[in-house]
Amino acid sequence: MQGLSHQISLELLSDYAGTFGFLLMTGIAVVSIMIKNKRSKKAVLTLETNQSNNLHEPVSLHPEINAALCVGCGSCVKACPEGKILQLVNNKSSLVYPTKCVGHGACEQTCPLGAIDLVFGTKTRGMEIPRISPDFETNIAGLYIAGELGGMGLIRNAVKQGRLASYHAISKLKNVKHATDVDIFIVGAGSAGFSAALAAKENNCRYKIIDQNTFGGTIYNFPRQKIVTSHPLEFPIAGQVKFKSNIVQKEKLLDVFTQIKDENNLIINEKENFLSLKKLNNQIFSVETSKGTYTAKKVILCMGVRGTPRRLGLANEDLPKVAYNLIDPSEYQNSSVAIVGGGNAGLEAAQYLSKSDLKNKVHLIVRGGPENAFIKANERNQKLVFELEKKKQITIHYNSCVKVIEKDFILIDKAGGDLKLANHALFIFAGAEVPFKFLMSLGVTIDKAHGEKRKLSIA
């Protein structure tokens, strides 16, 4: 009798446990559906707001999501290093902040179902882009384009593309029978060019690499101590270079580059400007620079997109106080400084120059209002700048542009009226003239991409 009641109570207990387990699982499922729905509604709202503010067109390489294949697993959402640019809407991945996408490509890499393609431009907004094959060869056989000039930003991509373009060029060298000064001629000694030159060195090729400015390219021009986000870089010879938490200071990154360069006796010809090239005998190139003319079997252009900063087109823009990059903020102290531009470069300059020990008066001049002036900047920079504005460490002049530049002051057009600001230094971050006209003069085809799929070699 006692055994029977013990057995019944065990059965009851197991029934209770089963029911409890079932209820718990159902509860968890219901809560998770509720959370998902709430997030989805928020994402729809963000998407609608961005659309009504005309912020629905991506400005560079971006993901195109195939809704028929997407199962809403969210791996792409988690993988994006830029934050909540992708979000789930009705259980499908959606690009809710299109203008903030910089084309990392992590989403495409992570998607387990191949539901994401990386594309340039959209049906309504075309984007100019040099025509390059998956091996980075242009329409001119033997002429390659690698790095940001090809349309993809980021150091990691530039290093990878320089390496792959060079390997491909090297693999075709044997087909060129003519004697030349060098096998491979590389223009630009930024991340892409450096990596391309290392690949040439690794394969015992005769190479020449030139830069109109300095080794390091865009990185060299970053402000002092700028924090750079960088996923592992895969260099020829040196192998993988990793940084803690994928974050590194500019100086450390340049030290790593320099160490690899020196260890491999890589010769970089600085202050040498690439002027033109032509094909000889339909086989080899004649490359003209500011210092001479060279023949080469293959040419890799790694010129980036920042060679010529975009100017405001105003009188006195050549005054020494006007600059297009900020390398050492500590040079500016107790000064009234103005920064033009609401992109990352402008916002980062505002942060560096407003550091309290410098005692500067910082003015940030932007064309749009608070809701759209910073659409090209990342969330972190936007947040930091709004905080500085709140603490009155910087003054943001919305709906404004510089009208007059004089030695000690500038005049800005602020929502219709003029405002005079004392000024000792003026930084202009209005982007750069992308050298596509120059490329076209060399015979390179520039396409207008409207979101067509193309095969890309991206990490």
Ligand X SMILES: Cc1cc2nc3c(=O)[nH]c(=O)nc-3n(C[C@H](O)[C@H](O)[C@H](O)COP(=O)(O)OP(=O)(O)OC[C@H]3O[C@@H](n4cnc5c(N)ncnc54)[C@H](O)[C@@H]3O)c2cc1C
Instruction: Annotate each residue in 146-185 with x if it binds ligand X (CB under 6 A) or - if it does not, as one string.
Output: -xx----xxxx-x---------------------------
Shortest Å distance, C-beta 212 to ligand X:
4
Of the two residues 182 and 302, which places its CB atom closer to ligand X in the complex?
A: 302
The verdict on 302 binding ligand X (CB under 6 A) reads yes
The verdict on 249 binding ligand X (CB under 6 A) reads no
The verdict on 219 binding ligand X (CB under 6 A) reads yes
Residue 99, amino acid = T
The verdict on 329 binding ligand X (CB under 6 A) reads no
Of the two residues 374 and 421, which places its CB atom closer to ligand X in the complex?
A: 374
The verdict on 306 binding ligand X (CB under 6 A) reads yes
Q: Which of 139, 286, 344, 395 binds ligand X (CB under 6 A)?
A: 344
Shortest Å distance, C-beta 255 to ligand X:
16
Shortest Å distance, C-beta 69 to ligand X:
29
Q: Which of 80, 130, 211, 382 binds ligand X (CB under 6 A)?
A: 211
The verdict on 230 binding ligand X (CB under 6 A) reads yes
CA nearest to 139, candidates 447, 436, 458, 434: 447
The verdict on 187 binding ligand X (CB under 6 A) reads yes
Of the two residues 101 and 115, which places its CB atom closer to ligand X in the complex?
A: 101
Shortest Å distance, C-beta 124 to ligand X:
26
The verdict on 377 binding ligand X (CB under 6 A) reads no
Return the range that interacts with ligand X (CB under 6 A); candidates 111-119, 121-129, 204-212, 395-403.
204-212
Three-state SS string over the chain comes to: CHHHHHHHHHHHHHHHHHHHHHHHHHHHHHHHHHHHHHHHHHHHHHHHHHHHCCCCCCCCCEEEECCCCCCCCCHHHHHCCCCCCEEEECCEEEECCHHHCCCCCHHHHHCCCCCEEEECCCCCCCEEEECCCCCCECCCCCEEECHHHHCCCCHHHHHHHHHHHHHHHHHCHHHCCCCCCEEEEEECCCHHHHHHHHHHHHCCCCEEEECCCCCCHHHCCCCCCCEEECCCEEECCCEEECCHHHEEEHHHHHHHHHHHHHHCCCCCECCCCEEEEEEECCCEEEEEECCEEEEEEEEEECCCCCCEECCCCCCCCCCCCEECCCCCHHHCCCCEEEEECCCHHHHHHHHHHCCHHHCCEEEEECCCCCCCCCCCCCHHHHHHHHHHHHCCCEEEECCEEEEEECCCEEEEEECCEEEEEECCEEEECCCEECCHHHHHHHCCCEEEECCCECCCCCC
Residues numbered 269 to 298 that lie near ligand X (CB under 6 A) are 273-274
Q: Which of 165, 189, 197, 209 binds ligand X (CB under 6 A)?
A: 189
The verdict on 307 binding ligand X (CB under 6 A) reads yes
The verdict on 210 binding ligand X (CB under 6 A) reads yes
Shortest Å distance, C-beta 250 to ligand X:
9
Q: Which of 345, 365, 434, 439 binds ligand X (CB under 6 A)?
A: 345
Return the range that interacts with ligand X (CB under 6 A); candidates 23-31, 166-174, 212-220, 439-447.
212-220
**With the C-alpha atoms ordered 2, 8, 14, 16, is the resulting torsion angle positive or negative?**
negative
Shortest Å distance, C-beta 322 to ligand X:
18
Of the two residues 98 and 162, which places its CB atom closer to ligand X in the complex?
A: 162
Shortest Å distance, C-beta 194 to ligand X:
7
The verdict on 213 binding ligand X (CB under 6 A) reads yes
> Phi/psi of residue 29, each to 5°?
-60, -45
Binding site for ligand X (CB under 6 A): 147-148, 153-156, 158, 187-193, 210-213, 217-219, 228-230, 273-274, 302-304, 306-307, 344-345
